[in-house]
């Protein structure tokens, strides 16, 4: 779950402005788990007016329990963007959403 191009450059500039230290910040961030990175990515994209949303759905499983399904969507420039994934688990939805929002940002 890595950013590329202009998006990566702008993200780390923003991230450094929020940090108390600049020592090996990029390496430290990239060592974080994807779920921790995702939260920081969401804050960055919120700051540039791109909203990432994971829509929760539930459906019964064969064992009678509940399985959570998530459909990611992105709102940018007043438009919803197709993320390219239907219903998936939360971890996969985050990865797919960040990949798509990186693509959208780099097209700006």
Helix (H) or strand (E) holding 37: helix 34-47
Please calculate the CA angle 7-27-97 and round it to the nearest 5 degrees: 40
Q: Which residue is associated with the tokens 């959403």?
A: 97
Could you read off the pLDDT of 70-82 as tens digits, one per residue? 778 888 888 888 7
**pLDDT of res. 27:** 86
CB of 4 within 8 A of CB of 61? no
**pLDDT of res. 18:** 85
Could you read off the pLDDT of 7-27 as tens digits, one per residue? 999 999 999 888 877 678 888
Share of the chain above pLDDT 70, in %: 84
Domain residue ranges of the chain, discontinuous segments joined by + = 5-107
């Amino acid at each position: 779950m890595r950013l590329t191009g202009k998006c990566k450059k702008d993200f780390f500039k923003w991230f450094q402005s929020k940090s108390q230290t600049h020592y090996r910040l990029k390496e430290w961030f990239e060592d974080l788990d994807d779920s921790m990175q995702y939260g920081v990515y969401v804050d960055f994209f919120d700051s540039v007016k791109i909203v990432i949303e994971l829509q929760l759905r539930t459906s019964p499983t064969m064992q009678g329990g509940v399985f959570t399904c998530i459909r990611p969507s992105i709102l940018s420039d007043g438009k919803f963007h197709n993320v390219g994934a239907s219903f998936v688990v939360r971890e996969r939805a985050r990865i797919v959403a960040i990949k798509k929002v990186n693509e959208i940002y780099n097209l700006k």
